[in-house]
Amino acid sequence: MKAESKGILKRISGPVVTAVGLDAHMYDVVQVGDEQLMGEVIRIEGDKTIIQVYENTSGIRPGEPVSNTGLSLAVELGPGLLTSIYDGIQRPLEVLVDKMGNFIERGVTAPGLSHETKWEFMPLVKAGDAVAPGAIIGEVQETNIVTKIMVPPKSKGGVVKEIKSGAFTVDEVVCTLDSGEDIKMMQIWPVRVPRPVTEKMNPDIPLITGQRILDGLFPVAKGGTAAIPGPFGSGKTVTQQALAKWSDAQIVVYIGCGERGNEMTEVLTEFPDLEDPKSGKPLMERTVLIANTSNMPVAAREASVYTGITIAEYFRDMGYDVSLMADSTSRWAEAMREISSRLEEMPGEEGYPAYLAARLSEFYERAGRVETLAGDSGSVTVIGAVSPPGGDFSEPVTQNTLRIVKCFWALDAKLSQRRHFPAINWLNSYSLYLDTLSKWYDENVSPEWNGLRTWAMEILQKEAELQEIVQLVGSDALPDEEQVTIEVARMLREIFLQQNAFDPVDTYCSMEKQYDIMLAIKLYADLAYSALKAGVAPAKIVTITAKNDLPQIKFTQDYKADMEKIHKAMEAEFAKLREALR
């Protein structure tokens, strides 16, 4: 560790302060003022050091001391992360309530992990085993998730000289190597540096989310990146939360970056009661929350996404699939803009700093499916919400994000106004993972799935074209076949695409059920087109009653028998229609 250096405050302007006489390096963590507020060096100019402060600076005066810790902003990684809720710089909010009451005051620090709790450590290697950096030497059964204890990536590795078993705190040595290096359960890692991996692999397994429009039409791969841009009120947060609830990742890191306090509280109260559809355990047990609400200090908001992704990478290194939700990356970009303008930097587009694109791509590039140092495979999927001002997708944050991410789920205020949820526009959205994932769908859902998907997209596209005509001349003026197409598209929209996140059954739809629903709509379409060819009037085809029961399938848990009935009823009704012709 570098020697501690001290300086004196010279200027205070909001979250940005200037110190002189400080011996500092970029991104060193410093303690500012008599109250020792936490800050980070963001610029060095001659003798002046410019610091962004993570806490409110009111009342701080020039002349107060500044000291440099010589460390960069880092998080504590180890047992105890799961179920925690942190602010942007990994201060546990639960502990802060005990320390300073209901409101967040400043100058209070608390370690990210509890240093008192004893965790039951189970060794997985024995004395004499050679361990490389990143190797797993033991585990702690934390919730229903096992936290694996690894040799820190920066260690040189070596041969295990002694390894213990039993209950330890995160500070106690659990393993000693022949090099004399002590290994503890806790690692400290600087947040702005990606954790190392052996190799990045191609993402070819989908992240199953239980959301029909996502899994069915625009899937994201495990280790992929996706962006959800949308104007306010279009359901970004509900979609993000649905993903946090139901995605089949083993670990979920949810970053509430500059968003509403009540929303974080909602997650906090809801997650402990919700069950993970796979393990049956409370969702909270696999979740780490980072909450830096919009009225918490802006510099800590800037740091929050790095804190979140570093925690995600840590779990990935254990071989887990992690999904990370950042809500919202626009607030993060705005934090950068605010700091940048206080620094009086030359602004780029719309006042955002010129390095906006670089920061965004660095962040998303930390996603990926990887071979870990220990040789397992793990992944971090990054799903970022974007809040474009005025719903205008041409603004810099949306545009720079789109250049990087592979999956785009375009939220649409028009749809949400009609209460079409999730309000994801099926015409503007896309996923570039379709090709790499098609093999998985072939093998795990049905060989017909990819064909069905393409068929559905064609119908929806066709409908959009037809709607333009309908807007002008009304639907009765369309040719017969196209009237049927409109009806099929309506079914796709209302039955397949619409999903009620608040209905206990419909909130999660398995891949099998998605396939069955799609198949039923296809069956109707096939029967309808062939009846049409046989000469049945379109008005009769469109109004058959058997398909009216189909929407109810969504809200039924054991739907198989009902589905069977609907198939039979549709076939019977169409047969009747054709018979009537003879």
Partner 1 sequence: MKEYRTINKIAGPLVFVEKTEPVGYEELVNIVQSDGTVKRGQVLDTSDEIVVVQVFESTAGIGRDSGVRFTGETIKMPVSKDMLGRILSGSGKPKDGGPEIVAEKRLDIGGAAINPYARQSPADFIQTGISTIDATNTLVRGQKLPIFSGSGLPHNEIALQIARQAKVPGSTEEFAVVFAAMGITKEEENQFMADFERTGALEHAVVFLNLADDPAVERIITPRLALTTAEYLAFELGYHVLVILTDMTNYCEALRQIGAAREEVPGRRGYPGYMYTDLASLYERAGLIKGEKGSVTQLSILTMPGDDITHPIPDLSGYITEGQIVVNRELHRKGIYPPINVLPSLSRLMNAGIGEGKTREDHKKVSDQMYAGYAEGNDLRGLVAIVGKDALSERDQLLLEFADHFENRFVRQGHDEDRSIDDSLDLGWELLATLPEELLVRIDRDLIRKFHPKYRSKEA
Map the footprint of partner 1 across residues 199-258, applying CB under 8 A: 231-233, 237, 256, 258
The stretch near partner 1 (CB under 8 A) out of 99-107, 169-177, 209-217, 370-378 is: 99-107
**Shortest reach from residue 434's CB to partner 1, in Å:** 30
**Shortest reach from residue 30's CB to partner 1, in Å:** 17
The stretch near partner 1 (CB under 8 A) out of 94-102, 210-218, 515-523, 528-536 is: 94-102
Q: Which of residues 121-150 bind partner 1 (CB under 8 A)?
A: none
Residues sharing a CB contact under 8 Å with residue 499, sequence separation 6 or more, in sequence order:
211, 212, 213, 421, 422, 506, 507, 509, 554
Q: Which of residues 389-408 bind partner 1 (CB under 8 A)?
A: 389-392
Give the up-direction half-sphere exposure of residue 250: CA atoms within 13 A in the CB hemisphere. 17
Question: Is 138 or 396 the residue whose CB approaches partner 1 more closely?
Answer: 396
CA distance 510 to 490: 22
**Shortest reach from residue 228's CB to partner 1, in Å:** 14
The stretch near partner 1 (CB under 8 A) out of 126-134, 193-201, 417-425, 524-532 is: 417-425
The stretch near partner 1 (CB under 8 A) out of 117-125, 201-209, 287-295, 303-311 is: 287-295
Place of tokens 């001391």: 65
CA distance 138 to 129: 13
Looking at the chain, how many residues does it have? 582
Question: Is 254 or 409 the residue whose CB approaches partner 1 more closely?
Answer: 254
Buried b (16+ CB within 10 A) or exposed e, 278-289: eeeebbbbbbbb
Q: Which of residues 437-496 bind partner 1 (CB under 8 A)?
A: 470-477, 494
Nearest to 203 by CA among 217, 219, 216: 219
> Which of 2, 4, 11, 130 forms a contact with partner 1 (CB under 8 A)?
11
Binding residues for partner 1, rule CB under 8 A, total: 81
Place of tokens 């205020």: 413
Tell me the sheet residues that pair with 189: 75
Residues sharing a CB contact under 8 Å with residue 111, sequence separation 6 or more, in sequence order:
76, 92
- Residue 557 contacts partner 1 per CB under 8 A: no
Q: Which of residues 497-556 bind partner 1 (CB under 8 A)?
A: 502, 545, 548, 551-552, 555
Question: Is 161 or 540 the residue whose CB approaches partner 1 more closely?
Answer: 540
CA distance 181 to 175: 8
CA distance 149 to 6: 37
Q: Which of residues 321-360 bind partner 1 (CB under 8 A)?
A: 331, 334, 337-338, 341, 344, 347, 350-351
Q: 166 phi and psi, to 5 degrees?
A: 130, -165
The stretch near partner 1 (CB under 8 A) out of 57-65, 188-196, 397-405, 528-536 is: 57-65
Please return the burial class of 476, using the count of CB atoms within 10 Å of its CB with bins 0-12, 13-18 and 19+: exposed
Question: Is 97 or 581 the residue whose CB approaches partner 1 more closely?
Answer: 97
> Which of 2, 47, 59, 435 forms a contact with partner 1 (CB under 8 A)?
59
Is the Cβ–Cβ distance between 133 and 152 less than 8 Å? Answer: yes
> Which of 46, 63, 180, 447 forms a contact with partner 1 (CB under 8 A)?
63
**Shortest reach from residue 262's CB to partner 1, in Å:** 6
The stretch near partner 1 (CB under 8 A) out of 135-143, 175-183, 286-294, 437-445 is: 286-294
Q: 47 phi and psi, to 5 degrees?
A: -85, -10
Tell me the sheet residues that pair with 197: none
